[in-house]
Amino acid sequence: MGKATTALVQSAFDFALREINALEVRIVKAEDDADAMLWEQARQVVEQLDAGLSQRKLAGKWINARTGEPYVQNHVWIVKQVFDQFTGQSPRPRFRDAYNEIANADNSGGGREQHNSGNFEWYTPAVIVEAARAVLGTIDLDPASCARANEIVQAHRYYTREDDGLTQPWEGRLWMNPPYAHPLIEQFVDKLLDSLAVGTVSAAIAITNNTTDVGWFHALGRMASAICLCTGRVHFWQTNPDVREINGPLQGQAIFYCGDDLDAFCARFDEFGVVLVKP
């Protein structure tokens, strides 16, 4: 190979390397710009949730540009968690890295609101259900139950895990002990709030952990007419015949009443703890 040919080859190599490096700079800038847009999008999502839009409704209107389909509610929940947990950090992580961290932790079943057994399907003691039934008059629907649990709840209709209560109609007077795992608990609360707002659910009593640091707890509290802050911790039970009654959860419970018969709720639930009535 002559000197001239060698020079031409070297020149071509140099040009290609300059192009590769130029593209590298453009890719990094595009990634930085995309990350900034993801954080801004998350900020706007959280702003809408704080203004009162439910996660379920937001997900239904938020269209995935690649598929043309709405996002699932779990996506909205993860985006909110990313913004709440990481936006104030310095240096701030890449949005997608933070998203994957939370998504993977959620899928591992290590949510803080699960009970210490790791099983989030715990059912309510009969004495509390009986008080709820007395206040409501009857229980038309339990959206998160099973046949064994309904022997105590005595709801006219109940949805099991297989039924997927979140996709079913909610009507009438409702008792709810939702699954205590993310994002299910927030999804069940969102659907209850929506059903109360449109009037398909006429009254409801729901028991949850007293996690006062999360948004769904405050949203349900704002909707409720009264809240019973239980003394001690409720001793739930499981359908497993070998584990009928189990130790209390890691924290206390709150019982929310959404309805008009405040006198009945206060009279019946005073035995379980202090009852706070919305002024």
Pairing of strands 141-142, 157-158: parallel
Q: Is residue 121 part of a domain?
A: no
Residue 15 token pair:
């040009």
The whole-number pLDDT of residue 110 equals 38
Q: Is residue 116 part of a domain?
A: no
Q: Is residue 145 part of a domain?
A: yes
The whole-number pLDDT of residue 168 equals 94
CB 194 within 8 A of CB 56: yes
The whole-number pLDDT of residue 118 equals 36
The whole-number pLDDT of residue 54 equals 86
The whole-number pLDDT of residue 116 equals 33
Q: Is residue 243 part of a domain?
A: yes
Q: Within this chain, do residues 93 and 189 fall inside the same structural domain, yes or no?
A: no
State the virtual CA torsion across 71, 76, 79, 81 in degrees, nearest 10.
Answer: -150
Amino acid letter at 33? D
Q: Is residue 41 part of a domain?
A: yes
Q: Within this chain, do residues 156 and 266 fall inside the same structural domain, yes or no?
A: yes
The whole-number pLDDT of residue 9 equals 52
Q: Is residue 115 part of a domain?
A: no
Domain extent for 134: 126-277
Structural domain ending residue among the three candidates 74, 107, 140: 107
Can you give the pTM of this predicted structure?
Answer: 0.63
Mean pLDDT, consecutive 10-residue stretches, the chain (279 aa), reads 56 77 86 90 92 85 86 84 88 88 57 37 83 96 91 94 92 93 87 94 95 87 95 70 48 93 96 92
The whole-number pLDDT of residue 6 equals 59
CB 203 within 8 A of CB 258: yes
